[in-house]
Amino acid sequence: MRPSKIPLVTLILVLVFFYLPIGFLVVNSFNRARYASKWDGFSTRWYERLWERTDIVAALGNSVKIATAASILSMILGTAAAFALHRYKSRFQEAHRLLVTVPLVLPDILMGMSLLLLFVSFGMQLSLITITVAHVTFCLSYVALVVQARLQDFDFNAVEAARDLGATKIQAFLKVTLPLLAPGILAGGLLAFTLSIDDYVITYFVKGPGSDTLPTLVYSMIKKSKDLPVINALSSLMLVVTFAVVAVSQRLTRPTAV
């Protein structure tokens, strides 16, 4: 009996559905025309125009700062949470596991409104700091899950062997545990960086005046900017960076022999 072609056709349709709009966006970033309805020749004018927009450069700088800080804090807190969930079993840890996983399924608009009310009730001025705190609240959940998956195949006998050879707990952690878990921690950090730099909904609620990030600025440009093709150029560059980050993250999460 001949194999069915339905799975192959389904795969092709899904790939076209996902990547055709992205390909259309990349092609139009090199379109000389201001509108995508017609092709007016190949040009890099919109990439050149992109670097002339100081507001975009400033927003990009804010996004990178926030994403970097959120990633570092998420790696620290997420790794600690993963260790606690893996090593200790109790009713308290079940509640802890629930609190870690809830941000993964909680609607962004609900998280944004809740965090806004929290910051206002504490009298905090909305700024890059409040955005960073908000991003950490959901990024650490992803880091915790990635590190926890890495811990499933972790051989703690190596740590015990280091202790038997005279290493202290801190030495065993820094010289044995941390290097072996580093790929998982870095992969979680890269994932957190990608999620942070791409977030719009939560950032919209907790940002203050003069603290625009790239997603919030792009949304405002779509509504009122005359340089709409600049967004195509910007999106194409972000697409390249995103694919690079995902590729590195997948490489780091490949199972390795311990």
- Which CATH homologous superfamily contains domain 55-252? MetI-like (1.10.3720.10)
pLDDT confidence bin for 134, thresholds 50/70/90: very high
**What integer is the mean pLDDT of 50-74?**
89
Residue 257 reports pLDDT greater than 60: no
Can you give the pLDDT at residue 256? 55
The dihedrals phi and psi of 51, each to the nearest 5 degrees, come to -80, -10
Q: Are 119 and 50 in contact (CB under 8 A)?
A: no
Can you give the pLDDT at residue 114? 92
CB contact burial 70-81 (16+ within 10 A = b; e otherwise):
bbebbbebbbeb
Tokens standing for residue 105: 């399924």
Query: Rounded to whole angstroms, how far apart are CA atoms 98 and 88?
Result: 15
SS3 content of the chain, % helix, strand, coil (to 5): 75, 0, 25
The more confident residue out of 165 and 128 is: 128
**What integer is the mean pLDDT of 122-147?**
91
Query: Rounded to whole angstroms, how far apart are CA atoms 72 and 78?
Result: 10
- Residue count of the chain, please give it: 258
Q: What is the pTM of this model?
A: 0.80
Amino acid at 69: A
The more confident residue out of 196 and 238 is: 196
Can you give the pLDDT at residue 90? 75
**What integer is the mean pLDDT of 19-26?**
86
Per-residue model confidence as pLDDT tens digits over 136-152: 999 999 999 888 888 88
Can you give the pLDDT at residue 191? 87
Residue 76 reports pLDDT greater than 80: yes
**What integer is the mean pLDDT of 27-56?**
81
How many C-beta atoms surround the C-beta of residue 211 within 10 A? Answer: 18
Per-residue model confidence as pLDDT tens digits over 190-206: 889 989 988 999 999 99
Can you give the pLDDT at residue 248? 76
Can you give the pLDDT at residue 254? 66
Can you give the pLDDT at residue 116? 92
What's the mean per-residue pLDDT of the chain? Answer: 84
Can you give the pLDDT at residue 258? 46
Residue 210's region, left for phi above 0, alpha for psi from -120 to 50, else beta, is: left
**What integer is the mean pLDDT of 29-35?**
80
Q: Where are the alpha helices (DSSP H) in 41-107?
A: 45-50, 54-87, 91-105
